[in-house]
């Protein structure tokens, strides 16, 4: 689009040049759509005519001039003045005649000098200088003083240095040890070609495979229990091979050999896997919906295979046909699995068990696409309602990429039979923050939980994002748990919910969790009781008089009885807990066993008078009367800690048992059965009664005091115990990492039975289990996970957080030396904890700073006529804006972290938006906001300063972006100037190419109207492509690249221009275009991901358009405005107070919304920018001759039509 020059420049003393015929950078008169000058109000109508040329003569001389320039006057215009005579100026010596010229539509047409122009010879030189100074002098806040430049430089250097340290801390410090073992398999994939386009509309895009393990699975037909693997973002269908291979080996080599396994419904697993062509599902919500729809169709097909295959096997013919499959989802595959329940083609009851691995359940990892944010909101709401008594009603607008407004189901969808286990990798996962894997707010504890790999028994190792699928220690646990929940006798192919959850808790939880009284009480059923006389080869039964037993394996069988203290005396220590640790296996069929025994009289046997002090032997008749029950099922496995162990995943293990007083109720003895060891006396078993409150130290220290002085305990407990604990309620925030030092200077590890080891527990929520073991401790790193930002407080979570960090210490109680503990904050290790959790802040805050700078620049430009460069705008922001913004952010952050309860509201309630109007308006109308969504969603009052701190860091990021873009544009500008002025050979080559193509003559002969038509047609064609084939994100990237070219041409013209007024005008235009370029650059993260997905689809020959990314309105303002700026026009100055107010209101609204909700709803920043650019288009177009022509045309024709209608 071509517009006229801003005539406001001459109103305040701008230097307007005479019309000249030039060959360097000015337009010829015949190319200008508006070459007639408009005199300002300050000019008198009786001013002398310096040109001496009549209007008619001038029109005849230049027949290509547009008639619309004199069709009317604005509030700043009166009668047109006559143009001066044309002056012919020779070509500038700086521009050789043979050099190729920059496009002659870049520079606005020169306006003839008015009688009051400062360049008029009639105006005194002093007056001209004064008017020029009034135009170019900016307010003092825009002055780049040494102090301001130093502050900007200092902030930039500190910001970049801090970001570099945060990255280094994130990837190299406070990370779990890498210790996953490789898995080995013999894979074979059978593609199911029968699942074609007749069964799903995505058959040409995706594919379904059946995994077969060679040497075990001899048939290509599924005969076991169906399991569907869903890969994640850019994941491969082959990632299933580790779990599938381990499941096949475990089933055929072990479980299938057990007697009665077939009768119990035990069957092998048929692993189906989906090839999504490594699609980027985390970046695009539409792709996620397509995957969910395809998987629902795939499940229907998978279930249809079993009636035929099972009837072919006589042993399985009587089994019911499967009606459900087991789902394993990795990364975004877990989100797709939960999305399947909300799709229009979901068949209720076809999924009952889900295991997700490294899945971000609560927040999208890259919320740049508005649709993926909406999907997260809808599926989380659906799942929360699904476990209620009434079930979850399907959305009125189901998540369907093909039919978004068709009701899927009219009946409630209950999730009462669905269990979900979420496995998180921990600190090693640098792709998905493990905080978001918590399903406590989505699934009740009776149907699911979240566990970290560092706390899974026999795993105890962190896992990165892809390794969680092939980590052999974890893969074995997952495979065994899946096989144990299988029951082919059921139609759902799995056990009931309670039994499934029991299997999963036993497999994935450490066994050290708190057992609730009434739920885990040791029963005294007669069928469970055994007599010591029934235990073969028991020769000796010893009763120990003390409260502690330290025993080595004996060569002959014997039983050690520890009386359970009754604590009847008030002045004695209440021994309410029993603990036992051994390096020997414990169980009914092992060499050691632990029993709870009772006498017929329910009283301990009296001690004989002449018995030894330490222990005495119980007579055989009395021993035969004891009724005992084994408690080996309550024994937990913990990693071994010896002088040679360095990591908990070394392969050696200990056994640990802890019994509370209520669990021992009704019993008199704890019996330790030693069946005898013929191999020697290596090993130990330590058991003792102790007071749990005495062995637990609660340190009431504030977090600031912990930062300043640290924590040091010379003696952890008053007396040595096997198990002691340290609880620090103030330590519950996951943004802080610590260093823990454990010393026992009076005890030698070589002389002890085992080396001290520590277990850290983070009780952040009832169903989120994160624990870590540290063996052979001296100095260790302590870091953990916690509450996700932006999540509202749920009932009971505050009580869990108040428990803080729990550290459990195992130490040899035979050594009397105290256990010394020291802990301090690891500042450098803590830097990286916030980087991954607040990545979106580094995308939002630079955008806000750019908008602030642009607002300041527009304000100065409207006041002075000079557009300051981006650095001057930053100076203004640093001096005037940040002193107000930062305290405001701090105040809002403090209020957010201290307020209790959050009131939610909906935009639709205020604007009365109809949710059925369109998909986008529906999203806007139903979007609810709460106090938890504000700023960065911080919950801890100690970190009230975190939002202002991140904002200051992003100030340095914004400065870096500006410098980077400025350097790139300047370098390209220098290249353009070099080619135009100092590169004759290159210039001749380019000129000859232009001559061959006859492009130069075409551009010279092309009129302004034809040029406008060409641009309009090109824009309309691009609009048509956006509406039908290409996503609007592609058009945005094209507009960004075009704008870079426009900036290069503008800066090149500014460098080549020698005349002061025109040079100042070109630099003003470049400064403005550069600010627009920085703004567009900050919006690239919102468009590039979807563009990458689209290109990826093209590479797999999938050409179906995205239904959610073909909105012309989402790109039209950017395309139109970039095209307008390509024409070389500067934004007109706004003299109208109402327009200025509207501009400031729009920009302040964007800044306020982006500050409050930009980090949470990052995708909204693009649409806010879209609205602002629309306003710029209006401001730019209202001064152009095209807009005036359209207004005149519309006024004449509409007015005439109305007159005819009235008549």
- What is d(CA 1109, CA 370) in angstroms, rounded to the nearest whole number? 10
Measure the CA dihedral 1019/1020/1025/1031, to 10°.
60
- Written as six digits, the tokens of 1067 are 């630099």
387 close to 447: Cβ distance less than 8 angstroms: yes
- What is d(CA 592, CA 533) in angstroms, rounded to the nearest whole number? 16
- What is d(CA 1028, CA 1107) in angstroms, rounded to the nearest whole number? 9
1027 close to 1105: Cβ distance less than 8 angstroms: no
844 close to 1158: Cβ distance less than 8 angstroms: yes
Q: What is the largest CA-CA distance in the chain?
A: 140
- Written as six digits, the tokens of 513 are 């969790």
> What strands, in cross-sheet order, belong to the sheet with 669-674?
530-531, 627-630, 592-598, 669-674, 558-563, 540-544, 615-617
Q: Which of 17, 117, 287, 331 is catalytic?
A: 331
Is residue 324 flagged as an active site residue?
no
607 close to 616: Cβ distance less than 8 angstroms: yes
E runs forming strands in 231-323: 269-275
- What is d(CA 1055, CA 1048) in angstroms, rounded to the nearest whole number? 11
- Written as six digits, the tokens of 1116 are 């039209």
Q: DSSP states of 930-975 as a string?
A: -GGGSTT----GGGTTHHHHHHHHHHHHHHHHHHHHHHHHHHHHHH
Looking at residue 1036, what DSSP letter applies? Answer: H
Query: Rounded to the nearest 5°, which phi and psi values hold at 266?
Result: -70, 130
- What is d(CA 984, CA 98) in angstroms, rounded to the nearest whole number? 8
- What is d(CA 510, CA 426) in angstroms, rounded to the nearest whole number? 16
E runs forming strands in 1121-1194: none
> What strands, in cross-sheet order, belong to the sheet with 723-728?
696-698, 723-728, 805-810, 757-761, 771-774
923-941 CB burial, b ≥16 within 10 A, e <16: bbbbbebebbbbbbbbbbe
Strand 269-275 and strand 325-330: the pairing is unpaired
Element (H, E) at 211: strand 207-213
What are the residues whose beta carbons fall under 8 Å from the beta carbon of 1149, sequence distance 6 or more? Answer: none
Locate tokens 């100074």: which residue? 133
Query: Rounded to the nearest 5°, which phi and psi values hold at 779?
Result: -135, 125
- What is d(CA 1021, CA 1150) in angstroms, rounded to the nearest whole number? 31
Looking at residue 619, what DSSP letter applies? Answer: P
Q: Provide the 3-class DSSP secondary structure of residue 636.
A: strand
Distances, alpha carbon 963 to alpha carbons 219, 879, 998, 1085, in Å? 64, 20, 38, 19
Q: Which of 156, 30, 51 is nearest to 956 (CA)?
A: 156
Locate tokens 């969808």: which residue? 413
Looking at residue 916, what DSSP letter applies? Answer: T
Bridge partners (DSSP) of residue 330 are 357
E runs forming strands in 681-804: 685-690, 696-698, 711-713, 723-728, 738-743, 757-761, 768-769, 771-774, 779-782
- What is d(CA 785, CA 997) in angstroms, rounded to the nearest whole number? 64
Looking at residue 157, what DSSP letter applies? Answer: H
- Written as six digits, the tokens of 88 are 């012919």
Locate tokens 């020291």: which residue? 822
Which residues are marked as active site? Answer: 331
């Amino acid at each position: 689009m071509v517009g006229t020059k801003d005539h406001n420049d001459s109103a305040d003393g701008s230097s307007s040049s005479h019309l000249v015929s030039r060959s360097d950078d000015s337009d010829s008169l015949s190319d200008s759509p508006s070459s007639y000058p408009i005199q300002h109000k300050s000019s008198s109508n009786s001013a002398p005519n310096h040109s001496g040329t009549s209007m008619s003569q001038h029109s005849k001389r230049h027949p290509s001039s547009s008639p619309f320039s004199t069709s009317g006057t604005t509030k700043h215009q009166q009668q047109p003045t006559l143009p001066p005579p044309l002056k012919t100026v020779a070509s500038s010596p700086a521009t050789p005649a043979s050099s190729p010229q920059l496009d002659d539509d870049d520079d606005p047409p020169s306006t003839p000098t008015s009688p009051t122009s400062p360049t008029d010879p009639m105006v005194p030189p002093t007056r001209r200088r004064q008017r020029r100074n009034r135009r170019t002098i900016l307010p003092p806040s825009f002055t780049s003083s040494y102090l301001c430049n130093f502050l900007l430089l200092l902030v930039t250097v500190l910001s970049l240095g801090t970001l570099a340290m945060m990255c280094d801390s994130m990837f190299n410090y406070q990370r779990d040890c890498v210790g996953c073992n490789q898995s080995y398999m013999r894979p074979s994939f059978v593609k199911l070609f029968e699942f074609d386009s007749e069964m799903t509309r995505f058959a040409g895009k995706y594919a379904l495979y059946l995994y077969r393990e060679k040497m075990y699975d001899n048939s290509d037909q599924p005969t076991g229990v169906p399991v569907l693997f869903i890969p994640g973002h850019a994941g491969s269908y082959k990632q299933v091979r580790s779990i599938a291979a381990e499941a096949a080996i475990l089933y055929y080599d072990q479980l299938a050999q057990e007697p009665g396994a077939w009768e119990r419904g035990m069957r092998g697993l048929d692993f189906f896997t989906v090839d999504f062509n490594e699609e980027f599902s985390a970046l695009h919500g539409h792709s996620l919906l397509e995957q969910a729809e395809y998987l629902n169709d795939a499940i229907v097909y998978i279930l249809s295979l079993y009636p035929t295959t099972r009837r072919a096997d006589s042993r399985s013919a009587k089994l019911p046909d499967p009606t459900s499959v087991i789902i394993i989802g990795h990364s975004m595959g877990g989100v797709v699995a939960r999305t399947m329940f909300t799709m229009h083609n979901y068949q209720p009851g076809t999924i009952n068990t889900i295991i997700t691995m490294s899945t971000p359940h609560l927040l999208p990892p890259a919320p740049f696409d508005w649709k993926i944010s909406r999907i997260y909101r809808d599926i989380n709401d659906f799942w929360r309602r699904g476990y209620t008594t009434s079930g979850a009603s399907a959305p009125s607008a189901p998540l369907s990429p093909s039919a978004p407004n068709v009701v899927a189901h009219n009946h409630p969808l209950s999730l009462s039979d669905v269990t979900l286990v979420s496995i998180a990798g921990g600190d090693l996962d640098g792709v998905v923050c493990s905080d978001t894997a918590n399903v406590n707010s989505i699934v009740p504890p009776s149907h699911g939980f979240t566990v970290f790999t560092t706390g899974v028994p026999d795993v105890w190792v962190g896992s990165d994002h892809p390794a969680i699928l092939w980590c052999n220690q974890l893969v074995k646990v997952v495979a065994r748990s899946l096989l144990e929940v299988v029951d082919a006798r059921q139609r759902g192919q799995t056990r009931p919910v309670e039994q499934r959850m029991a299997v999963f808790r036993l497999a994935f939880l450490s066994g050290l969790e708190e057992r609730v009284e009434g739920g885990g009480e040791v029963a005294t059923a007669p069928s469970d009781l055994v007599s010591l006389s029934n235990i073969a080869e028991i020769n000796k039964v010893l009763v120990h008089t003390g409260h502690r037993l330290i025993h080595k394996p004996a060569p002959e069988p014997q039983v050690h009885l520890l009386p359970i203290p009754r604590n009847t005396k008030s002045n004695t220590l209440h021994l309410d807990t029993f603990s036992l640790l051994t390096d020997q296996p414990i169980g009914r069929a092992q060499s050691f066993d632990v029993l709870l025994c009772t006498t017929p009289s329910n009283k301990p046997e009296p001690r004989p008078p002449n018995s030894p002090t330490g222990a005495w032997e119980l007579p055989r008749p009395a021993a035969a009367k004891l009724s005992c029950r084994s408690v080996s099922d309550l024994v937990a496995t913990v990693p071994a800690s010896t002088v040679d162990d360095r990591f908990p995943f070394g392969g050696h293990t200990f056994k640990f048992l802890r019994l509370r007083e209520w669990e021992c109720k009704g019993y008199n003895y704890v019996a330790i059965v030693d069946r005898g060891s013929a191999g020697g006396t290596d090993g130990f078993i330590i058991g003792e009664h102790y007071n749990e409150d005495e062995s637990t130290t609660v340190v009431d220290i504030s977090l600031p005091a912990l930062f300043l002085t640290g924590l040091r305990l010379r003696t952890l407990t008053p007396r040595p115990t096997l198990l002691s604990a340290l609880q620090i309620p103030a330590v519950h925030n996951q943004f802080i990492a610590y260093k823990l030092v454990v010393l026992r200077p009076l005890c030698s590890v070589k002389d002890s039975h085992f080396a001290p080891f520590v277990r850290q527990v983070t009780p952040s929520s009832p169903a989120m289990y994160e624990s870590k073991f540290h063996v052979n401790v001296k100095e260790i790193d302590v870091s953990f996970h916690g509450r996700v930002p932006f999540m509202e407080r749920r009932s009971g979570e505050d009580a869990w957080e108040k428990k803080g960090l729990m550290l459990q210490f195992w130490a040899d109680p035979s050594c009397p030396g105290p256990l010394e503990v020291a802990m301090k904050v690891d500042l450098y290790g803590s830097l990286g904890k916030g980087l991954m959790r607040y990545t979106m802040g580094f995308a939002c805050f630079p955008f806000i700073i750019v908008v602030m700078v642009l607002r300041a620049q527009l304000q100065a430009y409207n006041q002075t006529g000079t557009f300051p460069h981006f650095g001057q705008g930053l100076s203004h922001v640093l001096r005037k804006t940040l002193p107000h913004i930062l305290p405001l952010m701090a105040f809002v952050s403090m209020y957010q972290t201290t307020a209790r309860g959050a009131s939610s509201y909906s935009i639709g309630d205020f604007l009365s938006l109809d949710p059925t109007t369109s998909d986008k308006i529906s999203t806007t109308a139903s979007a609810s906001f709460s106090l938890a969504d504000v700023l960065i969603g911080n919950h801890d009052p100690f970190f009230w300063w975190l939002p202002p701190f991140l904002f200051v860091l992003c100030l340095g990021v914004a400065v870096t972006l500006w410098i980077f873009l400025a350097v790139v544009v300047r370098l390209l500008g220098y290249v353009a100037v070099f080619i135009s002025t100092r590169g004759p050979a290159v210039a001749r080559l380019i000129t000859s190419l232009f001559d061959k193509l006859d492009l130069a003559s075409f551009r010279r002969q092309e009129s302004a109207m034809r040029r406008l038509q060409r641009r309009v047609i090109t824009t309309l064609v691009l609009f048509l492509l956006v509406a039908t084939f290409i996503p609007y994100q592609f058009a945005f990237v094209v507009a960004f690249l075009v704008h870079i070219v426009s900036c290069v041409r503008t800066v090149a013209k500014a460098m080549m221009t020698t005349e002061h007024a025109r040079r100042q005008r070109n630099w003003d235009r470049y400064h403005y275009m550069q600010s627009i370029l920085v703004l567009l650059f900050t919006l690239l993260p919102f468009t590039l991901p979807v563009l990458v997905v689209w290109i990826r689809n093209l590479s797999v020959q999938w050409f179906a358009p995205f239904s959610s990314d073909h909105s012309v309105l989402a790109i039209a303002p950017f395309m139109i405005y970039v095209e307008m700026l390509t024409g070389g026009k500067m934004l007109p100055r706004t003299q109208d107070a109402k327009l200025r107010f509207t501009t400031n209101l729009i920009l302040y609204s964007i800044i306020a919304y982006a500050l409050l909700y930009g980090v949470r709803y990052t995708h909204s920043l693009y649409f806010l920018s879209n609205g602002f650019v629309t306003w710029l288009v209006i401001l730019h177009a209202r001064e152009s001759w095209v807009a005036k022509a359209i207004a005149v045309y519309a006024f004449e024709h509409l007015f005439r039509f109305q007159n005819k209608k009235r008549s």
